Amino acid sequence: MKRFLTWRDDWYLGIEGIDSQHLRLVELVNQIAGLLEADNPDAVGGATPMQLIQQLQVETRLHFRSEEAFMRECGYPDYVSHHREHAMLQAELKELIRDIEEGKRKFDIDTLTSLKHWLINHVIDSDLDIARHLHKHKLAPAEDQL
């Protein structure tokens, strides 16, 4: 079966801690897609799509925090705008979850598709820029920074 969100090798930042967190977020999105695409989503594997999106929210917050710490440590020049983007994404995710809980929005594959797009766009547009900064200044990510 085709995966809902397929990771591409050119999305790797070359920063081990961040890359593994990105892969984990992708895995969670795919797990949610698997449940939403199943005939009876609530009956699969124990966790519900809602529990998994809440898990995604928690892990996204932790991921953003460690990415922000990394950016500060390597003197990344666009920290402020990147941080603002993280805050916006977190607010959007929070609002999305609230809308689903309040029945204002249906939790279906279309909803997840918009979430998938912001995740990918953020990685491609903003996160990869951190890697470009490291490369430009020949800074090697230290193992203990994450």
Residues found near Fe ion in the complex (CB under 5 A) = 67, 127
Please report how close the Cβ of residue 91 comes to Fe ion at its closest, in angstroms. Answer: 15
Please report how close the Cβ of residue 55 comes to Fe ion at its closest, in angstroms. Answer: 19
Closer by beta carbon to Fe ion, 33 or else 127: 127
Which residue do the tokens 């953003």 mark? Answer: 64
Distance, in Å, from the CA atom of 110 to the CA atom of 115, rounded to the nearest integer, reads 9
Residue nearest Fe ion by beta-carbon distance: 127
Please report how close the Cβ of residue 114 comes to Fe ion at its closest, in angstroms. Answer: 18
Please report how close the Cβ of residue 65 comes to Fe ion at its closest, in angstroms. Answer: 11
Distance, in Å, from the CA atom of 94 to the CA atom of 108, rounded to the nearest integer, reads 16
Closer by beta carbon to Fe ion, 19 or else 67: 67
Closer by beta carbon to Fe ion, 61 or else 98: 61
Distance, in Å, from the CA atom of 28 to the CA atom of 86, rounded to the nearest integer, reads 18
Token pair of 145 as six digits:
């920074």
Q: How far is CA 106 from CA 35, 48, 56, 100, in A?
A: 14, 14, 18, 6
Element at 96 (helix H, strand E): helix 79-101
Closer by beta carbon to Fe ion, 36 or else 85: 85
Q: Are 16 and 144 in contact (CB under 8 A)?
A: no
